[in-house]
Structure formats: structure tokens, C-alpha cells
Amino acid sequence: MTPLDADQVIDLIETWAEDFNGKTNYGYTRHMIVSFPEGTYPDAAHEAGLEFADRLFGSGDFGDIWDYLTVFHNDTDNPHVHIVVNNRGVEHGQWLAMGMSSDMNIDVQRAIQVEVAEGYGIELTATTRLERGLRQEVETDTWKVQAGMSVVESTPEVEVTARDMAGDGLCCTNRVQVGVPLSPGGLILRPR
């Protein structure tokens, strides 16, 4: 992994934005949070979150490879990784599909998170927060969750988030920009 600074993140977001054209019901990017249980060793949570993102978006196992940025936080009781994904695939231009009828649905994502976490000594179960009694489902939003809409962020918010991530120094992406000098600290670049 290679660190990026704030200017390099801004360049990456601008590169993404060059392909943001036409209308979309789901936005051009998605924001996800991969959370781990209270007391999870932060380094294990960080590495498990990065591997989870790579398995979903960098492996090609779901028909394409998608650019993504990650940032790790341990500022709450539950260490977690934020993932911002460009919805347009890099190799085939495939639009990212994460709804219940897609190959990358929430059940598949949970199973991958459990499998990856186990490799880092983190014990998880592939259940919903509702099934674990951690929150109540709001029935009017159920269709949005099934359609994948609950994880959508707008383009301006992504740019603000990426700039904030750069300041935190814990952000990653799966693409290397050729010819861009990289400096210590800042964001982490995960090459394909």
C-alpha cells in the first residue's frame, strides 16, 4: 500500500467525476460502512475491512473491478472502515449492482465479511442488525434497502468525504495513478 496526500485524493475524485454523465437513480458512488464488534483489535479490523473491500470491488469476482476509497476509524466503540465506491466498473464499464437480486447482495456481503474477519481472528455471524436486536427496521425504508439506495452518496458529498479522509491519513484506493508522486502519510493506495 502506498500513501496518498489530500491533493492526490482530489485528483482521484476529479478523475472519477470525468465519467459522471447522464442520469442515474442510484448516484455515481456508494458509501458503505464495514463495522466490527466492540473490543476488536484495531489493526485486525483495519486489515479485514481492506480485504473485504478488495474481495468485493477489486477481485473481479462480480463481473468487473470498481475503484474505491477506504478510510479506517477507531473513534467509536466499534472499529469500522468506510468505503466509497465509484459505481462504474473499470474494466467493462459494468454498473455496480448491490440490490437483493444481484450477485453482490447484502447476504453475500455479510458472508464475505464473516469469512474475511475469521482470517483475522474476528468472530462474526452473518445476521442483520435487526436479527441481533440492535435496531428496528423502518418498514417504509425496506424497499430502499432492498434496492441498494440506502448506501448511496451524492457526488459533492463524496468529494467532501474524500478530502476529510485525506486529513485523517487512513484512506485507501484500489487504483494506482501512473506518474503521481506519493508521499508518506495521507491516503493509502492499494494497487490492483
Q: What is the pLDDT of residues 102-155, one digit of tens each?
A: 999 999 999 999 999 999 999 998 887 778 777 655 554 444 444 444 433 333
Q: What is the pLDDT of residue 15?
A: 83
Q: What is the pLDDT of residue 56?
A: 96
Q: Which of 176, 161, 191 is nearest to 82 (CA)?
A: 161
pTM of the predicted model over 0.85: no
- pLDDT for 42 beyond 60: yes
- pLDDT for 190 beyond 50: no
Q: Which of 117, 106, 128 is nearest to 40 (CA)?
A: 117
Q: What is the pLDDT of residue 43?
A: 93
DSSP conformation letters of 36-90:
--TT--HHHHHHHHHHHHIIIIIS-TTSS---EEEEEE-SSSS-EEEEEEESB-S
Q: How confident is the model over 53-83, as pLDDT tens digits?
A: 999 999 999 999 998 888 888 888 999 998 9
Q: How confident is the model over 3-24, as pLDDT tens digits?
A: 667 787 888 878 888 877 766 6
Q: What is the pLDDT of residue 183?
A: 27
Average pLDDT of the chain to the nearest whole number: 74
- pLDDT for 184 beyond 70: no
